[in-house]
A and B are shown apart, each in its own frame.
Chain A
Amino acid sequence: MTDWFQVVIFVALVWAAAPVLGKHLFQVFGDQPQPRFDRWLTPVENGLLRFIGERGRPADQAWDYLRPLLLSNLLFGLVALAFLLFQPPWLNAQGLPAMRWDTALHTAISFLTNTDQQHYTPEQSLSDLSQLGALQFLFFTSAATGLAVGFAFIRGLCGRPLGNFNTDLIRGITRVLIPLSFLFALVLLVNGAPMTLAGPVTLRTLEGADQILVRGPVAGFEAIKQLGENGGGFFGANSAHPFENPNPFTNLLAMVAMFAIPAATIDAFGRFLGNRRQATLLLLLVTVLFLTLAAVAIKAEQGGNPLLAAWLSGPNLEGKEVRFGAGITALFATITTGSMTGAVNGSMDSLLPLGGLVPLFNLFLQVIFGGQGTGVAYLLVFLILTVFLTGLMVGRTPELFGRKVEKGEIVWSSLILLIHPLFVLVPAAITLAYAPALSGISNPGSHGISQVVYEYASASANNGSGFEGLGDGSLWWNLSTIVSLLGGRYLPIAALLLLAAGFARKTKVPPGPGTLATDTGLFTVVTGVVILILGALTFFPVLALGPIAEAFSLVGAP
């Protein structure tokens, strides 16, 4: 019961925060005056922009926005890679050695792409310097890159020029990510998360053995990890670790933090469009989808494993943090995969089949709030596809927001539909074809399929969580997931920018009675159905062979 109560509180908090934060995002990315911020931040931002020689001209072509994005990301990646490859002795109390080259490359790219898959155990591999200089640095830049793309896409869809990437990147960090994570870090500090560079402490346990307790600048790290939908833990246990997630209150805040910016981006989109009703309906749509999936996951975990029912009643507590319980862990899992964060407060691998199906489904759809900036963009791409499919049925060339949806829009939207099949199904098939040699799968049968598919889906969706049993530290896993990481990040970004740039150039058609209205309940429902059908149809076979087959095996299907 308390689980459901917490679901209600969570949704209420997200909905309450969305308009407030959405207004702020609109001001930041819509070039509205913000006297309280402008006074302090404008000189800093302008100084930084001057420093990199940016004049702030808005991009006409997609490439004008994409080029600085790719260049800056390349630079960020190289900086992070250098930290990881060399891991100098500074702030390295444990004297940890440098990372293996392939793990370092994978880690750098994984954090660069806002994914944060971790094929290593952080507290045993990374110095505080690496955690801060490589990872926390990328937390900010990758989240800000996503935000920038999201708002460039929104601008294009609303008929404005795409904007200037460097300006967006810097303002996203100075006005959104730093202030919010500063506040959240303070709350975490108060609740007991450590924030120190003093290195680990050695404790004498009750049995008299020595135990090394790793500390670090966790509170600050944790805040942007959640808010920026990054998800890479300071500790291997991630948000199940008491330093990262001290108590149920911080757990609730951590969950809200994951949805806060995506929900606010949808709200801000309505302000850009001048049609807040449209944004509210979209927010309602993803909320309903989210609640459905959360209900499935919570129900499954609360019910426990039917095979053990004879000996063990009660919820499925395997791989759960008992401080939070089965239901809340399932809720957390639904949120972290829906928002492409990838932080976990329990073991995904230990979820029951239906509980595991929900995160996998979230990764496939990528819109149930979705990634930083990209989530709303994908949602709007689905809106474009829905408009195209149903728009023809009202006898007009389909229009969205007063602009015609034609070949260009369909090509770029469709490309986004193709990313997952290419970067999830193809590598998963290759890995499973050579399972003994490549995979390091810890479970045979359907669960093994789920593990492999999940790993690539997590990489391609830039989520970062994983089914823990997978021995994913190998050369094969590092290199093959890099392909999915990069493909799942930069190809959609390029497609989104191309789509938006082309869309903005079209002449606006005034709405009339013959125009298909997209801000109606009916159309929103249709969009939901299209999302489910297009998403589900593509992945139904693997879902069927993975979690669904496993679920049937549990209930003792004939």
Chain B
Amino acid sequence: MASSSGLLSKPLFWLPLVLALGTALAAPLFGSSPSPLQTTALALLLTGTVVLSGYLFVVIFQPERF
């Protein structure tokens, strides 16, 4: 328990993973963009917004942690 939660509590470990996964999943939504760079950027932006929203939910329910 301690080791796994220890790893999960390190944002540097899971944040890039989540962002990369989200970007990959969201990329098809922006397939019509002219460049692959823009597709990736928009997908990353969408994922980032969702993650940010998730972070805010954590703050709302566990404000003591911040």
B partners with A: yes
Closest B residue by C-beta to A426: B53
Cβ of A499 to closest chain B Cβ, rounded Å: 14
A-B contact count (CB 8 A): 5
B63 within 8 A of A: yes
B60 within 8 A of A: yes
B66 within 8 A of A: no
- Chain B residues 44-66 with CB under 8 Å of chain A are 60-61, 63
A102 to B61, CA, bound (A): 35
Asked whether A407 lies within 8 Å of B63 as measured between CB atoms, the reply is yes
Residues of A within 8 A of B63 (CB): 407
Cβ of B29 to closest chain A Cβ, rounded Å: 8
A155 to B9, CA, bound (A): 41
A414 to B57, CA, bound (A): 11
Residues of A within 8 A of B61 (CB): 411
B-side interface mostly: helix
A427 to B63, CA, bound (A): 28
Closest B residue by C-beta to A434: B29
A217 to B35, CA, bound (A): 62
Closest B residue by C-beta to A407: B63
Cβ of A420 to closest chain B Cβ, rounded Å: 15
Residues of A within 8 A of B60 (CB): 411, 414-415
A407 to B61, CA, bound (A): 9
Cβ of A388 to closest chain B Cβ, rounded Å: 14
A426 to B60, CA, bound (A): 19
Residues of B within 8 A of A407 (CB): 63
- Chain A residues 392-443 with CB under 8 Å of chain B are 407, 411, 414-415
A303 to B61, CA, bound (A): 49
A411 to B61, CA, bound (A): 7
Cβ of B34 to closest chain A Cβ, rounded Å: 18
- Chain B residues 10-66 with CB under 8 Å of chain A are 60-61, 63
A179 to B24, CA, bound (A): 59
A403 to B61, CA, bound (A): 21
Query: What residues of chain A have their CB less than 8 Å away from a CB belonging to chain B?
Result: 407, 411, 414-415
Q: List 5 A-B contacts (CB under 8 A).
A: A407-B63, A411-B60, A411-B61, A414-B60, A415-B60
Top 5 A-B residue pairs of the complex, sorted by shortest distance between their CB atoms? A411-B60, A414-B60, A411-B61, A407-B63, A415-B60
